[in-house]
Amino acid sequence: MNNTDDKATLLVVDDDQDLLQALSRSLRKERTRWDMTFVDSPEDALTILDGFSVDLLISDVRMSERDGMSLLVEARERCPHLQVILMTGMPDIDAAIEAIKAGAAYYLTKPIDHDKLITVIEDALSHRKQPLSGGQAAGLRQLRTPRLIGGYRIVRPISEGNMGSVFLATKEVDGQPQEFALKLLKLSSSPAEAREAACQRFTREAEIAFQMEHPNIISLCEYGIAMQDQVPYMVMDYFPGVTLDQYISERPRIDHKLCLNILLQLAGALTEVHRHVLCHRDLKAENVLIDGAGHIKLIDFGVAKITNSSLTQTGMVVGTPSYLAPEWLSNQPEVDHRADLFSFGVLAYQFAVGVLPFEADTLPALIRKIVREVPISPTTIEPSVPAGLDRLILRLLAKDPNDRPADACAVADELLLIRSGMQGSEY
């Protein structure tokens, strides 16, 4: 989402993470013409509407915090110009009529066809081509007034996560405006005890990130509490890249020399991480940024495990299931840095052949595959994968941590050998 006049801004709300991710994937190709933010909480949606100009709100009807009709009414009260599309898995004619009366442009039934969704969005956004009245223009200017957090001027949202929201922000440094990434903790309507635990995790993430010094780890500039809003925040260097999963999905074929160079950068970053924490625990393609020159930055230490940390107790499974090591999923008493090497192997597999090594329709089935099944070798899917890389990936994905490389530094050494063996050859 941005605040320019030439690009429509969309805000999508659904408290079902799977459906939200499905919508994100469905609309990914439209990012060149629409600026989109995806949130899983109606309260977060209202917060964004308070601070930014939004042209179209797309919301689920049935949500736990509040229903879509209630959100529609309040959103339209705050932003009269706002177009709204409601989605439902339980269609009802009377409800649809009430939604249209309340100001919804469309009332769509799930599962939503991609082409129909695009057509509906285009139609709902057609109002942007019409001149604004004086009152509408004044309201729009008011919405576009940036907010200040900790002395940083928020420009637009960048991404949305379970724990926090990341915004592009600016601040004058030595008389010149400089861009930063500002992360705010999401507290919303959580109970007091949960909010306190979230604040502790957020602060700990900032403390961990502040220790890291590596060219492939995002640099933390400062962290604290925004006194006006009493919201924990951290400020990082702004890195104008895309997530690695988006990078992979947009390329039908990955150059394996480029793949090796990126994996080498990531292995170096992971080596630095393990100097400070026992385990990152959420190493995945979504937590790696890459720019057009092939440089990467590792981000997000929100679930990193520190030795003897009460916030990451043994038996607590956190992270993204497809990337989790078997020892996490089988509740083994001792889990160390080698669990991250398994996640590294999943990411390397994904990068080398474009698909994940373990996929299933349900979470229990996925867990069974990760714990019990040997993945198909990368060269079986893509014969051009270097043999050395194929062997390394399968070792990283070993069920027994003792069968994996010793550490990230050892992985980097092997990647260097594989790359040197490719010099002067096609692959």
Active site residues: 282
The DSSP bridge pattern shows strands 104-109 and 83-88 to be parallel
CA distances, 11 to each of 42, 51, 159, 161, 388 (Å): 11, 13, 12, 14, 45
Contact by Cβ (8 Å): 306, 208: yes
Angle among Cα 401, 406, 408 to the nearest 5 degrees reads 105
CA-to-CA dists, residue 235 to 102, 152, 299, angstroms: 40, 9, 12
Burial of 225 (0-12, 13-18, 19+ CB in 10 A): middle
| Nearest alpha-carbon partner for 276 in 242, 307, 248, 298 | 307
Six token digits for residue 157 = 């949202």
CB distance 85 to 59 below 8 Å: yes
Contact 427, 386 (CB under 8 A): yes
What gap in Å lies between CA 395 and CA 406, rounded to an integer? 11
* Token pair recorded at residue 189: 């309507």
- Strand 104-109 to 296-298 pairing: unpaired
CA atoms within 13 A on the CB side of 287: 25
